[in-house]
Amino acid sequence: MKRSKSSRQWLDRHFKDEYVKRAQREGYRSRAVFKLMEIQEKDRLIKPGMRVVDLGAAPGGWSQYARQLVGDKGMVVALDILEMDPIAGVPFIQGDFRDQEPLDELRGILQEKPVDLVISDIAPNVTGMATVDQPRSMYLCELALDFAKEVLCPGGGFVVKVFQGEGFEQYIRDMREAFGRVVSRKPKSSRSKSREIYLVATGFKL
């Protein structure tokens, strides 16, 4: 199938992207890993021995990086609706985060023990229509927050990708009710045209 002009332009930008090239050099699966790296440099969320859940993990860059930081005494569990190539030491569940079955499987792996950090880079399949994409995105963010509140230990942390728009301000208010500190981050590796930002919450309050 012949590619459209816009598809060719996207591919050209993608392969010229400095973060794509850097990810390839350093053995990471996607440029998205550098967003988490920048957050880590500022907020020092991930520490050796931590238990971490990665929601929307595929293709696995965040899980790769988190696994390096938590070490052999820590744990990273990944979940995504898409397939993901195995990462040594990272249990992976393929399933829809909106369904009960993959969440039950995830809880089984966690053995009902609390986790220290939930990280979520989940985004819906976009249609290009803000009136459709924004509610879908916020719904996934709300599910991720509900999950974090269910599994986090006291003082735990939460990182979530959010698109600014309808529902965003209320979502921040909900996060501030649940956590002692909530800050927003726009990593340099996040494309400037994107409305995405990352909310970083610490000090989970039971």
pLDDT per residue as tens digits for the range 92-123: 999 998 899 998 999 999 998 999 999 999 87
Which residues are known binding-site members for S-adenosyl-L-methionine? 60, 62, 80, 96, 121
Looking at the chain, the whole-number percentage of residues with pLDDT higher than 70 is 86
Please check whether residue 121 lies inside any domain of the structure: yes
pLDDT digits (tens, 9 = 90+) for 173-196: 999 999 999 999 998 887 777 778
Binned at pLDDT 50, 70 and 90, residue 3 comes out as low
Q: What is the pLDDT of residue 180?
A: 97
Predicted confidence (pLDDT) at residue 128 exceeds the cutoff of 70: no
CATH number for position 38:
3.40.50.150
28-86 pLDDT, tens digit per residue, is: 778 889 999 999 999 999 999 999 999 999 999 999 999 999 999 999 999 999 999 99
Residue 4, domain member (yes or no): no
Give dist(CA 53, CA 119) in Å, integer. 6
The reported pLDDT for the residue numbered 105 is 93
Domain membership flag for residue 129? yes
pTM above 0.95, yes or no: no
pLDDT score of 5 more than 70: no
Domain of 196, in residue numbers: 30-204
Strand order in the sheet with 179-185: 92-94, 75-80, 51-55, 115-120, 152-163, 196-204, 179-185
Q: Give the catalytic positions in this structure.
A: 161
Number of domains the chain is built from: 1
Query: What is the residue type of 151?
Result: V
- For residue 55, tell me if it sits in a domain: yes
Phi, psi of 79 (to 5 degrees): -140, 135
**Which residues line the annotated binding site?**
60, 62, 80, 96, 121
Looking at the domain assignment, is residue 20 inside a domain?
no
